[in-house]
A and B are shown apart, each in its own frame.
Chain A
Amino acid sequence: MSDEYENKSGYQAQSSETLTGSAGSTPDIDYVRPAELPEQDLYHGHTFITKWVFCQDAKVIGVQYFLTAVFTGIVGLILSWLMRLQLGFPGLAGFITAEHYYQFVTMHGMIMVVYFLTALFLGGFGNYLIPLMVGARDMVFPYVNMLSFWMFFVAVAVLMASFFVPGGPTGAGWTLYPPQTILEGTPGSGMGILLMLVSLALFVIGFTMGGLNYMITVLQARTRGMTLMRMPLTVWGIFTATVLAMLAFPALLVSAIMMTLDKVIGTSFFMPTILKAGEVLEYGGGSPILFQHLFWFFGHPEVYIVALPAFGIVSDLISVHARKNIFGYRMMVWAIVGIGALSFFVWAHHMYVSGMNPWFGFFFATTTLIIAVPTAMKVYNWILTLWRGNIRINTVMLWCLGFIVTFVNGGITGIFLGNVSVDVPLSDTYFVVAHFHMVMGIAPVMVIMGAVYHWFPLITGRLLNETLGKWHFWATFLGAYSIYFPMHYLGFIGVPRRYYEMYDSPYMTSAVGMNEFISLAAFLVGAAQFILIFNIIKTLKTGKPAPKNPWKANSLEWHTSTQPPEHGNFGERLPVVHRWPYDFSVPGAKDDFIPQTTPPSEVVHTKVEKT
Chain B
Amino acid sequence: MHAGIIFFLVILGSILFHIFTPWYWTDIASNWKGMDDTITLTFWVGGGVFVAVCLFMIYCVFKYSYKEDRKAEYKPEDKKLEKILTVATTLGVAALLAPGLIIWNQYVNVPKNSIEIDVMAWQWGWQYRLPGNDGKLGTTKVVNINDDNPFGINLDDPYGRDDVMVQSDIINLENNRPVKILLRSVDVLHNWYVPQFRAKMDAVPGVVTYYWFEPNKVGEYEVLCAEYCGVGHYAMRGGVEVQDPNSYQQWLGEQETFSDLLAKQNKEIETKKVAKNNSKIEKVIYKEEK
Give A contacts to B, CB under 8 Å.
98-99, 102, 171-173, 177, 179-180, 183, 185-187, 272-276, 278, 280, 285-289, 322-325, 327-331, 353-355, 358-359, 361-362, 365-366, 369-370, 372-373, 376-377, 379-380, 383-384, 386-393, 398, 401, 404-405, 408-409, 412-413, 415-416, 419-422, 424-429, 474, 478, 481, 485-486, 489-490, 492-494, 496, 498-503, 505-507, 510-511, 514, 582, 584-587, 592, 607, 609-610
Contact = CB atoms under 8 A, between A and B. Distances in A.
Given A102-B231, A419-B42, A498-B233, A585 B72 contact: yes
B202 interface: yes
Contacts of A280: 142-143
A187 B231 contact: yes
B188 A180 contact: yes
B25 A361 contact: no
B32 to A, nearest CB: 7
Contacts of A173: 228
Given A186-B231, A370-B93, A586-B74, A486 B104 contact: no
Contact of A489 (B21, B67, B206, B225): B21
Given A98-B234, A185-B188, A325-B76, A492 B23 contact: yes
Interface in B188-225: 188-189, 191, 193, 195-196, 198-207, 209, 211, 222, 224-225
B244 interface: no
Nearest to A278: B146
A362 B93 contact: no
Given A355-B203, A425-B32, 6 more contacts: A177-B228, A185-B231, A387-B73, A390-B64, A421-B103, A507-B26
B23 A490 contact: yes
B227 interface: yes
Residue from the set B10, B97, B193, B201 with the largest chain A CB neighbour count within 10 Å: B97
**What are the 9 tightest A-B residue pairs by CB atom distance, in nearest-first order?**
A494-B195, A272-B206, A419-B100, A180-B188, A412-B46, A355-B209, A421-B103, A185-B230, A388-B73
Given A325-B74, A387-B60, A408-B54, A185 B123 contact: yes
B72 A389 contact: yes
Contacts of A401: 3, 7, 57, 61
Contacts of A272: 205-207
B278 to A, nearest CB: 32
A421 B98 CA distance: 11
B154 interface: no
B82 interface: yes
Given A355-B201, A421-B100, A377 B85 contact: yes
Contacts of B105: 362
B24 A492 contact: yes
Contact of A379 (B53, B97, B229): B53
Interface stretch (B33-41, B160-168, B260-268): B33-41
B53 A276 contact: no
Given A183-B230, A422-B38, A276 B183 contact: no
A496 B72 contact: no
Contacts of B42: 415-416, 419, 422
Residue from the set A99, A275, A278, A379 with the largest chain B CB neighbour count within 10 Å: A275
A286 to B, nearest CB: 7
A391 B183 contact: no
Residue from the set A180, A361, A379 with the largest chain B CB neighbour count within 10 Å: A180
A478 B71 CA distance: 32
Contacts of B36: 425
A392 B211 CA distance: 54
B96 interface: yes
Contact of B35 (A383, A424, A503): A424
Given A180-B229, A412-B49, A274 B186 contact: yes
B108 interface: yes
A76 to B, nearest CB: 19
Nearest to A358: B108
A425 B73 contact: no
Nearest to B221: A506
15 contacts: A180-B187, A272-B205, A324-B74, A328-B82, A365-B100, A383-B53, A386-B61, A398-B3, A401-B61, A415-B96, A428-B193, A485-B14, A489-B24, A496-B225, A610-B76
